[in-house]
Copies of this chain bind each other. A is one copy, B any other.
Amino acid sequence: MEIDLNADLGEGFGIWRLGDDDALLDIVTSANIACGFHAGDPLTIRRTCAAAVDRGVIIGAQVSYRDLAGFGRREMDVEPDELSAEVLYQVAALDGVARAMGGRVSYVKPHGALYNRVVRDAGQAEALVGAVAAYSPDLPVLTLPVSEVHEAAARYGVRTVTEAFADRAYTPEGRLVSRREPGAVLHDPAVVAARAARMAAGAEIAAADGTMVEVTARSLCVHGDTPGAVALARAVRDALNDAGLSLRPFA
């Protein structure tokens, strides 16, 4: 059984920093690096790519709506044709910088509001996948188990990889409980780590209503924007190791 750990990295901009990239690079196997549209100036991008290459962490393009002020967290009604060009530009920029640092972009993960939008918006999902296919059909796209991205990707011959969140509550149908609901986010490292190990092993986890649900995923997403988050990520990694699971990137 193999499982990947991914996290968002390089999400500073200019003088501003966000999250503990160094700590996360020692924990994850895949780094979703910001491409400049929601975060990530060129210097930060280059440094983050170099640091990922140094540690042998796989690099993914964390593409986003063009929205620095909103950190890519506001849904935008971007026309598919324009969105496609924006994704292509971002993947290209990150891949070129990564290659100059000795690595390369190995997958694509949409960020924030775009991540959520493409799950249910067929037009934007197609724009995303079309851009990836135009750049390189070999790049898999990370998304939720139930997502319009799978359909679009099948049409373009692009591979998708599903991910799960060990620190989030799930519905009995296997969907994420909205962050607006109480109990949507789990904070107890022991609980989160145990769920991560079960998810990675293909075992069922308890849904929000207590019933059991299977959440299949080849990658688990962890965060690093608070000291507690880093500790949680480390606990997840330790639990996966303790369970005898093999931590390996999917790409």
Q: How far is the CB of A6 from chain B (nearest CB, A)?
A: 20
| Cα–Cα distance between A67 and B82 once the two chains are bound (Å) | 14
How many residues in A have their beta carbons less than 8 Å from beta carbons of B? 46
Which residues of the other chain, B, contact A13 by a CB distance below 8 angstroms?
13, 16, 68-69
Which residues of the other chain, B, contact A134 by a CB distance below 8 angstroms?
100
Which residues of the other chain, B, contact A39 by a CB distance below 8 angstroms?
15
Number of copies: 4
Which residues of the other chain, B, contact A172 by a CB distance below 8 angstroms?
none
- Residue with the greatest number of chain B CB neighbours at <10 A, chosen from A67, A92, A94: A92
Interface-side segment among A40-48, A142-150, A182-190, A208-216 = A40-48
A88 at the interface (CB under 8 A from B): yes
A43 and B85 contact, CB distance less than 8 A: yes
Identity of the chain B residue whose Cβ is nearest the Cβ of A16 in the assembled complex: B16
Identity of the chain B residue whose Cβ is nearest the Cβ of A47 in the assembled complex: B85
Identity of the chain B residue whose Cβ is nearest the Cβ of A133 in the assembled complex: B100
With contacts A70-B78, A74-B77, A96-B135 taken as known, whether A89 is within 8 angstroms of B42 at the C-beta atoms is yes
Identity of the chain B residue whose Cβ is nearest the Cβ of A89 in the assembled complex: B42
A93 at the interface (CB under 8 A from B): yes
A71 at the interface (CB under 8 A from B): yes
Which residues of the other chain, B, contact A89 by a CB distance below 8 angstroms?
36, 42, 45-46, 93, 96-97
- In the complex, chain A residues 35-90 whose Cβ is within 8 Å of any chain B Cβ: 36, 39, 41-43, 45-46, 66-71, 73-79, 81-82, 85-86, 88-90
| Cα–Cα distance between A45 and B93 once the two chains are bound (Å) | 13
A12 at the interface (CB under 8 A from B): yes
| Cα–Cα distance between A13 and B69 once the two chains are bound (Å) | 7
- In the complex, chain A residues 9-48 whose Cβ is within 8 Å of any chain B Cβ: 12-18, 36, 39, 41-43, 45-46
Checking B15, B36, B46, B69 against A88 with a beta-carbon cut-off of 8 angstroms, the contacting residue is B46
- Excluding A42-B82, A45-B85, A99-B135, 19 further A-B contacts by CB distance (< 8 Å) are A14-B69, A14-B71, A41-B69, A42-B88, A43-B86, A46-B85, A70-B76, A74-B76, A77-B113, A88-B100, A89-B96, A89-B97, A91-B96, A92-B93, A92-B96, A92-B97, A92-B99, A95-B96, A100-B135
